[in-house]
Amino acid sequence: MNFPNIGNRPKDYELIFKHLPMGIIYLDRDFTILNINPYFLEKFGVTLDNVRGRRCYELRAEILGEGKKRLKPCCGCKVPEAIETRDVLTFVNEVTPGFMAEITIVPVKNERGDVSGVIELVQDITQSLKADRELRDSKEKYKSVVDNIGIGVSLINPDMEIIAMNKQMYKWFPNIDVSKRPACFQAFNNPPRKNICSYCPTCKTLQDGQVHESVTETPFGNEIRNYRIISSPILNSEGKPTAAIEMVEDITESKKAKEKIQEYQNNLEELVKKRTKRLSVMNRELKNEITDRKEAEEALKISSNKTKIFAYCVSHDLKSPAIAIYGLTRLLNKHYEDVLDERGKNYCQQIMKSSEQIAALVEMINVYISTKEISQKIESIKLAELLFMIREEFADPLNIRQIKWTEPEYLPEIKADRIAILRVLRNFVDNALKYSGSDLSEIGIGYREDDEYHILSVSDDGIGLTEEESKNIFELFKRQTTSSGIVGSGLGLAIVREIAEQHKGKVWSEPGSKKGITFNLSISKDL
């Protein structure tokens, strides 16, 4: 085996060499491998015949796949130092990536006392280093948990001195300096106590080594704070307490709450009696109110029916004379044209126009009443088709006045009452044509949606409305200054508002960025 002269019983040393659970490598002064024990051979997956006679750093380069790049001793190699100083050297080094070892280099001397080589003893400490790191990490995690736990933690020695506290304790008692080892009964009380607290569980734990618990009454200025303390012992090898860990929870507010609950419970029976009596009175009043409300609803229903009948009768009675007046006036103007002067003819025209307005107003009143009364027919409608119908209906005035019409490229299919939505769009477009003035050049249709509503809009670049005029435009019979001289009933936007409410939405107006106005209608997606 080519061992150096290391004693009188080389076979014993050879046995140790073979079976010692650590790496042993024998090198001469030139780093040539003279021998390696089986542990090392197995560790690197080589045979003795393949490595004997080769330099150790060349073998390491081969194991790492570096080929012939490494032609000199490894960085940090202590062999030259051991040969020069003849001292035994011990150090920690990474032999191969992930293989950490404690290496001891023992110089080997010949008969003349010169160093002829070295023996390296390599102890694998990879797992122990990993365990040390995990232990350090564990300590840091434990410290972090203790510091950030929601309760206070303090360490008390047998002299009742504070030797450590976590962050929560420092929040409660920021002025305590544990380096000065203050007595707990003095530091934790304001004003400080002269003696150990009578209820102190820590004192009992330090005496008998058992876990104790109590609730404190700690003076803190002008108030008393209540802390629940659980004290656990730290025992030495003989089972005697050397310190105590206090786990502290501030229960002041919960204690006050419990006292209030107890007080409330004590008076609960009387309170229940009072409440029961009061509820009985309220129940009787509620029954009376329900009866009164039913009577009022029935009266309102009767009144509403009478109002509808009256409205229909008035509408009918107004419409017939209005039509008759229009017809008679037209005949008068036709048959007596030669007799009537210009003033008379103008009078006839004004009478016919007024009778037309009366008929239109009656028709709009009927529409408003029917809108409120007729149930909706909710169906899937294609908005693009509705807009096509509206655009065709107003094609003549749009072309004559050269008004630009814009609408989105895509419009979805929604659920709504087809006739009602047509009426809304027709009203918006008609209003834009009637009331936007001679400068009107564009009418734009818009669509957007959110999680709850489809939102249709009609915008124009006309004269618009003032903020004051916009306030009540959806009320009955409201007409603005822009409608002066233009035929209208003042019911159109009121009908639109009624339709919006029936579709679980609303209608509103917005001024344009520069001029004009935008009318918006929201339609619920839940119809």
Model confidence at 458: pLDDT above 90: yes
| Claim to verify: residue 501 and residue 380 sit in the same structural domain | yes
Mean pLDDT of 443-466: 90
Mean pLDDT of 40-54: 85
Q: What is the pLDDT of residue 305?
A: 60
Nearest to 55 by CA among 100, 94, 25, 24: 25
Q: Is 504 a member of any domain?
A: yes
Q: Domain end: 370, 393, 425, which one?
A: 370
CATH of the domain at 504: 3.30.565.10
Q: Is 144 a member of any domain?
A: no
Q: What is the pLDDT of residue 182?
A: 92
Q: Is 31 a member of any domain?
A: yes
CB 79 within 8 A of CB 57: no
Angle at 334 between CA 329 and CA 338, to 5 degrees: 115
User: How far apart (Å, rounded) are the C-alpha atoms in residues 415 and 523?
Assistant: 9
| Claim to verify: residue 83 and residue 222 sit in the same structural domain | no
| Claim to verify: residue 279 and residue 306 sit in the same structural domain | yes
Helices and strands in the chain: count of H runs, count of E runs: 17, 19
* Confidence bin at 11 (pLDDT 50/70/90): low
Place of tokens 């030259």: 80
| Claim to verify: residue 317 and residue 385 sit in the same structural domain | no
Q: Is 335 a member of any domain?
A: yes
Q: Tell me what the pLDDT averaged over the chain comes to.
A: 81
Model confidence at 303: pLDDT above 50: yes
Q: What is the pLDDT of residue 486?
A: 42
Looking only at the bridges linking them, the beta strands covering 404-406 and 162-165 are: unpaired
Q: What is the pLDDT of residue 46?
A: 85
- Half-sphere exposure of residue 322, counting CA atoms within 13 Å on the CB side? 18
CB 106 within 8 A of CB 118: yes
Model confidence at 456: pLDDT above 90: yes
**The pTM is what?**
0.37
Model confidence at 99: pLDDT above 50: yes
- Enter the DSSP assignment of 337: T
Least confident segment among 31-45, 265-279, 362-376 = 362-376
| Predicted confidence (pLDDT) per residue in 68-91, tens digit | 555 677 777 888 888 888 898 888
What lies within 8 Å, CB to CB, of 475 at 6+ separation is 494
Mean pLDDT of 22-30: 87
Model confidence at 103: pLDDT above 70: yes
Mean pLDDT of 181-208: 89
- Greater confidence (179 vs 477) lies with 179
Place of tokens 């203790």: 146
- Greater confidence (473 vs 481) lies with 473
DSSP-assigned letters across all residues of 365-399: HHHHHHHHHSPP-EEEEEHHHHHHHHHHHTHHHHH
Q: Is 349 a member of any domain?
A: yes
| Claim to verify: residue 408 and residue 510 sit in the same structural domain | yes
| Claim to verify: residue 380 and residue 492 sit in the same structural domain | yes
User: How far apart (Å, rounded) are the C-alpha atoms in residues 433 and 175?
Assistant: 79
CB 156 within 8 A of CB 206: yes
3-state secondary structure 250-304: ECHHHHHHHHHHHHHHHCHHHHHHHHHHHHHHHHHHHHHHHHHHHHHHHHHHHHH
Q: What is the pLDDT of residue 488?
A: 45
Model confidence at 369: pLDDT above 70: no
| Claim to verify: residue 391 and residue 290 sit in the same structural domain | no
- Half-sphere exposure of residue 308, counting CA atoms within 13 Å on the CB side? 13
| Claim to verify: residue 389 and residue 495 sit in the same structural domain | yes
What lies within 8 Å, CB to CB, of 362 at 6+ separation is 315, 318, 319, 322
User: How far apart (Å, rounded) are the C-alpha atoms in residues 106 and 152?
Assistant: 55
Enclosing domain of residue 398 = 376-524
Most confident among 124-133, 346-355, 445-454 (mean pLDDT): 445-454
Q: What is the pLDDT of residue 21?
A: 79
Looking only at the bridges linking them, the beta strands covering 23-28 and 33-36 are: antiparallel
Q: Is 421 a member of any domain?
A: yes
Nearest to 521 by CA among 435, 426, 405: 426
| Predicted confidence (pLDDT) per residue in 105-155, tens digit | 889 888 888 888 998 888 888 877 776 676 566 556 666 666 777 788 888
Q: Domain end: 201, 224, 257, which one?
A: 257
* Confidence bin at 7 (pLDDT 50/70/90): very low
User: How far apart (Å, rounded) are the C-alpha atoms in residues 268 and 261?
Assistant: 10
Alpha-helical (H) ranges within 23-90 are 38-44, 48-51, 56-63, 79-85
Q: Is 136 a member of any domain?
A: no
Nearest to 97 by CA among 69, 133, 60, 70: 60
| Claim to verify: residue 163 and residue 213 sit in the same structural domain | yes
Q: What is the CA radius of gyration of the chain?
A: 51
| Claim to verify: residue 441 and residue 466 sit in the same structural domain | yes
Q: Domain end: 370, 390, 410, which one?
A: 370
Q: What is the pLDDT of residue 137?
A: 61
Other CB atoms within 10 A of residue 230 CB: 17
Model confidence at 219: pLDDT above 70: yes
* Confidence bin at 447 (pLDDT 50/70/90): very high
Model confidence at 483: pLDDT above 50: no
Q: What is the pLDDT of residue 16?
A: 67
| Predicted confidence (pLDDT) per residue in 310-333, tens digit | 565 655 556 667 677 777 777 877
| Claim to verify: residue 307 and residue 363 sit in the same structural domain | yes
Mean pLDDT of 154-160: 90
Alpha-helical (H) ranges within 4-107 are 10-19, 38-44, 48-51, 56-63, 79-85
Other CB atoms within 10 A of residue 407 CB: 18
Q: To the nearest whole percent, how much of the chain has pLDDT over 90? A: 17
Least confident segment among 5-9, 35-39, 274-278, 300-304 = 5-9
Q: Is 295 a member of any domain?
A: yes
Most confident among 9-18, 317-326, 502-511 (mean pLDDT): 502-511
Least confident segment among 246-250, 365-369, 517-521 = 365-369
| Claim to verify: residue 429 and residue 301 sit in the same structural domain | no
Looking only at the bridges linking them, the beta strands covering 223-225 and 227-235 are: unpaired
| Predicted confidence (pLDDT) per residue in 377-421, tens digit | 889 999 999 999 889 989 998 999 999 999 998 999 999 988 889
Model confidence at 259: pLDDT above 50: yes
Looking only at the bridges linking them, the beta strands covering 404-406 and 442-449 are: parallel
Q: What is the pLDDT of residue 404?
A: 94
CATH of the domain at 208: 3.30.450.20
For the chain, how many structural domains are there in total?
A: 4
Place of tokens 């030797």: 163
